[in-house]
A and B are shown apart, each in its own frame.
Chain A
Amino acid sequence: MADQEFESAITDEMRALIGVKGPETTSELTTTSVRMFARSVGYVDPAFYDEAVAQERGFRSLPAPPGYLGTPIYNPADSDPTFGGRRGGGGFRSPYPLVLNGGTDIEYTGEQICAGDTLTSATALASLNERWSGALGVPMLIQVSETTYTNQHGKVVAISRGTGISYPRPGD
């Protein structure tokens, strides 16, 4: 199918945000938060629930299951009730109201991530692209955000890349 012509929503101001890191976020891992995450995925490995087992396996405390990079420290007085302030690419805001999660890519450096750790993260917009959605009949803006997580010892523990797809309400 030929590509539909559409007006680009990407402005110079938006392009200027590529590579610019947003504010730092602090996230904590506790034994309870690791257990809650592990339970919600459905893990039955006792290493996520029993500290003695985790330590026998060589972990400092309960290890973070893949995908868990701590819970941002929040105060509902000034955090987003839906995502707790954990999404977004630096200062970037899409002009479109509807959002889909396009994908997740997390690379681990091999440093342990365990209960008791505090991670500092900063997110930068990595890329912006557009394409026409034939299914919805609207243009889609595809943003990739890259977040680097550093532990309390200053070591990078993970790099996460999230793809967000935003689009106008069909029919508007």
Chain B
Amino acid sequence: MTDAVPDQIYFEDIEVGDSIPELEKSPTSQQLVQWAAGSGDFYQIHYDTSYAQDTGLDDIIVHGALKHAFLGELLWRFAGPEGQVKRVQCSYRGMDPAAQGRESAQEKKFTLRGTVTRKYTEGERNIVELNIEGVRADGSVSTPGQGVVVLPSRN
């Protein structure tokens, strides 16, 4: 279980090239239904297998915007209670399946990762830019992107 609120990290503690703590997800059909209600996207390819197959998909797929929101959570946790998420950008390069029935959610593991690419100060704000990505259980990247957060300073 991940900590509800991670310890605060400070601008001075970050170096370009650092990897940030990973976030692990295992999207299930139940989570996709929760997302449909939470986001207002009720497209049937995300919860109705036969509907998904009629459009040429193998099975239901994870919503692109949910993968974007997972990356948002990765950055929210990295920025900590005193930080701010400034930007979350990603491309949907491939479909990601969701665990259904008795299938183990671990097989549909989806890991969110990030690496610091730049840090600078703009006015009074300490800005950190990152490459971020959503990675499938087999190690392939389906959802590459970039993020920007504002971090507090120790000074």
Using a CB–CB distance below 8 Å, which chain A residues touch chain B?
33, 36-47, 57, 65-68, 71-72, 81-84, 86, 98, 100-108, 110, 163, 170
Can you list 15 residue pairs at the A/B interface with Cβ under 8 Å? Answer: A40-B34, A40-B37, A41-B70, A42-B31, A43-B76, A67-B72, A82-B41, A82-B42, A83-B42, A100-B92, A101-B65, A103-B89, A107-B148, A110-B150, A170-B56
- Chain B residues whose C-beta falls within 8 Å of the C-beta of A101 in the assembled complex: 63-65, 92
- Chain A residues whose C-beta falls within 8 Å of the C-beta of B128 in the assembled complex: none
B140 within 8 A of A: no
Which label, helix, strand, loop or mixed, suits the secondary structure of the A interface?
Answer: mixed
Interface size of B by Cβ–Cβ distance < 8 Å? Answer: 43
Q: How far, in Å, is A125 (CB) from chain B's closest CB?
A: 19
How far apart are the CA atoms of A135 and B40 in the complex, in Å? 31
- Using known A-B contacts A65-B69, A107-B86, determine if residue A36 contacts B43 with beta carbons closer than 8 Å: no
Q: Which residue of A lies closest to B64 (CB)?
A: A101
B108 within 8 A of A: no
* 4 closest residue pairs by CB, A with B: A66-B72, A40-B38, A101-B64, A105-B89
B85 within 8 A of A: yes
Contact call B2/A108, Cβ cutoff below 8 A: no
Within 8 A of A (CB), among B97-155: 145, 148, 150
Contact call B75/A66, Cβ cutoff below 8 A: yes
Interface hub of B4, B5, B40, B42 (most chain A Cβ within 10 A): B40
Using a CB–CB distance below 8 Å, which chain B residues touch chain A?
1-2, 4-5, 25, 31, 34-35, 37-44, 55-56, 63-66, 68-70, 72-73, 75-77, 81, 84-92, 145, 148, 150
Which label, helix, strand, loop or mixed, suits the secondary structure of the B interface?
Answer: mixed
Contact call B81/A47, Cβ cutoff below 8 A: yes
How far apart are the CA atoms of A94 and B34 in the complex, in Å? 29
Q: Which residue of A lies closest to B41 (CB)?
A: A83
- Using known A-B contacts A104-B64, A106-B88, determine if residue A67 contacts B2 with beta carbons closer than 8 Å: no
Contact call A83/B43, Cβ cutoff below 8 A: yes
Contact call B2/A83, Cβ cutoff below 8 A: no
- Chain B residues whose C-beta falls within 8 Å of the C-beta of A41 in the assembled complex: 35, 38, 66, 69-70, 72-73
How far apart are the CA atoms of A164 and B108 in the complex, in Å? 25
How far apart are the CA atoms of A36 and B69 in the complex, in Å? 13
Contact call A83/B86, Cβ cutoff below 8 A: no
**Additional A-B contacts beyond A41-B35, A108-B87 (20; CB < 8 A):** A36-B34, A40-B37, A41-B73, A42-B31, A45-B4, A46-B5, A66-B75, A66-B85, A67-B39, A67-B88, A68-B38, A68-B69, A71-B40, A101-B92, A104-B64, A104-B88, A107-B87, A108-B84, A110-B86, A163-B91
